Amino acid sequence: SPLMSVIRHTVVTLPTPVNISTWWNFGSLLGICLAIQIFSGLVLSLHFTAHTDLSFYVVIQSFGDVYYNWWFRALHANGASFFFIGLYLHIARGMYYGSYVFKEVWAVGVVILLLVMASAFLGYVLPWGQMSFWGATVITSLFSALPMIGGDVVIWLWGGFSVDNATLTRFFGLHFLLPFGVAGLAGLHLFFLHDQGSSNPLGVSSDFNKVVFHHYYVLKDLVGACFFIGPLLALVYFNPWLLGDPENFIEGNPLVTPQHIQPEWYFLFAYAILRAVPNKLGGVVALAAAVLILFYMPFSPKASIKGLSFYPCGKILFFSLVGVFILLTWAGAKPVEEPYVAISQGLSVLYFLYFLVIGPLTRIQDK
């Protein structure tokens, strides 16, 4: 049948470069993570009530009254963290090996990143703990920095004059729907990838040296999945709240502001960039640019060889960017005071400087 033919061409007879490494496993791992998130989220939604007076207590009560609800919630919460670990490593691999030259594949991938970020933020609000409520208040208030229409946009997002029941209800609906949009875009991502072919560590054409996807890479992806899911389950069983915030075990209270408001760890790098700019509008622009600058990569100056494997200076810059990303994550978890503000400002400059310098630098090395 036509459907089986498509599936066979996608996961069985697909011609794949013979020399791709373990770094190419993260695409399939992200597919597994997405399936886990959709399934566990569907189970959790069956026992959730989107109401400011009930959400917090329904989540707590479900731990003891619903069989294995604690397991599904821990899997869903930690699965989001592992999803972002896979996303960031997948993007880093694409930047290092020059996968961004496939413009359609890269653009769809960045849109997927934006939708996953939006879905993660919406989901973090649903338990209606202190950090959920104040995180929603802070992030949605950023839209007030928009000239002329900012105030109206914020009221439209809230569904009123503050983060309240209307906000929670619409956030729940959007959080439920967005993952299905991500799944659709993931299919489009694969379509463009299979149409253009995968890149490889050497950065040269591998059309003459390919093997079929099954069983060579199916087995390799299964091994990668075991190594990826193993730590996730260990976290779920032995320390499920390690990556969470203790403030979120307190019911959201508009009259009590937490001493230090911060998002989940996977947003801290962008949060640090936001706080590094003293002007509110400038901070919002910098926050958006921190992710949207990925759209610029396919249009940066092209090197003779895809990827940075044969560019020593480029490799140094890339791993410096990785260090800057980690330090920004660390700085985002610190209070808004010196020296952390100055450190965030310096790191933010280095972060954006990489994207502007890496293309011309590789061209100079070519010459």
Q: Which residues are annotated as a binding site?
A: 76, 90, 175, 189, 194
d(CA 163, CA 202): 51
Run of H or E including 141: helix 130-141
Is 220 among the catalytic positions?
yes
Q: Summarize the annotated binding site for a ubiquinone as residue ranges.
A: 194
Token pair 């009530």: residue: 49
Task: Tell the residue number behind the tokens 């004059």, with chain if given.
Answer: 161
Q: Are 202 and 39 in contact (CB under 8 A)?
A: no
Q: Is 264 a catalytic residue?
A: yes
d(CA 337, CA 209): 55
Instruction: List the catalytic residue out of 62, 99, 221, 344.
Output: 221
Q: Tokens in use for 133?
A: 């409520």
Give CA 275 to chain center in angstroms: 20
Distance of alpha carbon 62 from alpha carbon 105, whole angstroms: 41
Please give the angle made by the CA atoms of 102, 106 and 110, to the nearest 5 degrees.
170
Catalytic residue among 47, 51, 214, 220: 220
Closest among 127, 156, 149 to 58, alpha carbons compared: 127
Write out the E strands in 179-294.
210-212
User: Which of 28, 264, 306, 348 is labelled catalytic?
Assistant: 264
- Measure the CA dihedral 212/216/218/222, to 10°: -170
Residues comprising the binding site for heme b?
Answer: 76, 90, 175, 189
Q: Which of the following is catalytic: 194, 214, 280, 315?
A: 194
> What is d(CA 157, CA 118) in angstroms, rounded to the nearest whole number?
13
Active-site residue, from 40, 62, 198, 206: 198
Catalytic residue flag (residue 198) = yes
Nearest by Cα to 262 from 200, 205, 206, 344: 344
CB atoms within 10 A of CB 323: 12
Residues carrying an active site annotation: 194, 198, 220-221, 264
